Amino acid sequence: MKHLMYRIIIITLVCLFLIRNPLNTGEHAYGKDNVLEHARHAAPDPYLLARNTAENNSYISEDDIIITIDKPDKEAGIKTPEKVVTENRKEEKEEKKKSSHSRTLISEYLEKGKKFEARNELSDLYFAESDNAKRLEIKNKLDELNAELVFSRIPSPDAFLYEVTPGDTLNKIASKFDTNYELIMCINKKVRTNIRVGERLKILNGKVTVLVDKSDFTLTLLLNGYFIKQFPIGIGKSDKTPRGVFVVDNKLINPVWYSPDGIYQFGDPKNVLGTRWIGFEDQEGLYGYGIHGTTEPETIGKEMSNGCIRLRNEDVEELFNYVKAKTEVVIQE
């Protein structure tokens, strides 16, 4: 009888111990054992979370059971919709702050008569701006500044003055400064190639490149990466105008059109090239592309060509003066 009593007492003590100190199964206090294995990878569900508010008591009462949502692991890199929205708003605020700072800086430059610095800042702002009305406002100001900085005989940081010496010709001067004589004539408002000793000519200082944007049907002339002139364009139908970086290979006045249907001389109603042709160097799979004028000015601003970029004749004639062999042309969406 005594042995039976001892056994009952021992069993009772063991049970009390197990109740007060449950075995650690390797799981945590989160309930749903069917999702514990995948909890790190799945979207968070509500869980039962046990907490013990008593300082020296391992017993968990019913009042200590609460429902909670497991928060995503920060290291997992998962963004909640709220976080994405917050980050987008922060980016928008940063863009507005940068835009506001740029406009303030531009105003300060203009007040101090620093038109060159203002033009460069405006150029950066133009390409960063997405609102069409604001872009037009910026473009109008850029045109106003470039009329003096680039397209006049007034000295500027964009250019230098060269004094003609005996034996000089426009071709020799253009070759000396890696430009083309048409551009020198255009900048200096010359209608003839005659020059005289001692005459001072304004020469643009830097690299001219062309940026074609298919998304808004524009061709922009850049000098050292800054906006100096823009023209409206027409592009290829059915996305035939390729994207990429091209290089000018040749320039033709009153070009002949070698079309898939035949050869058409300049002036032929079937010749759609207009008054100028600026051809690109061929690339693998891309042959015969270039920039030209048009006999159909109503197609400017539309996708109507076979893949080339077309401008109004008066615009392509002006562009013709600014580009030369090896001028870089970037075509983007």
The SS3 assignment for 150 reads coil
How far does CA 56 lie from the centroid of its chain? 63
Instruction: Give me 1's structure tokens.
Output: 């009888």
The DSSP result for 314-330, as a single string, is HHHHHHHHH--TT-EEE
Q: Is 292 in the active site?
A: yes
325 vs 107, 173, 251, 322, CA distance in Å?
38, 17, 8, 11
Residue 95, C-beta contacts closer than 8 angstroms, at least 6 positions apart = 128
Question: Which of 201, 249, 208, 255 has the alpha carbon at shortest distance from 229?
Answer: 208
**Cα 23 to Cα 128: distance, rounded to the nearest angstrom:** 63
Cα angle 7, 12, 13 (rounded to 5 degrees) comes to 100
Letter string b/e over residues 58-93, b meaning 16 or more CB atoms within 10 A of that residue's CB: eeeeeeeeeeeebeeeeeeeeeeeeeeeeeeeeeee
Among 28, 41, 186, 292, the active-site one is 292
Q: What whole-number distance in Å separates Cα of residue 6 and Cα of residue 227?
A: 98
Say how far apart CA 18 and CA 64 lie, in whole Å: 20
Under 8 Å CB-to-CB from 329, ≥6 apart: which residues? 209, 210, 212, 245, 246, 247, 248, 280, 291
Known catalytic residue at 186: no
Active-site residue list: 292, 308
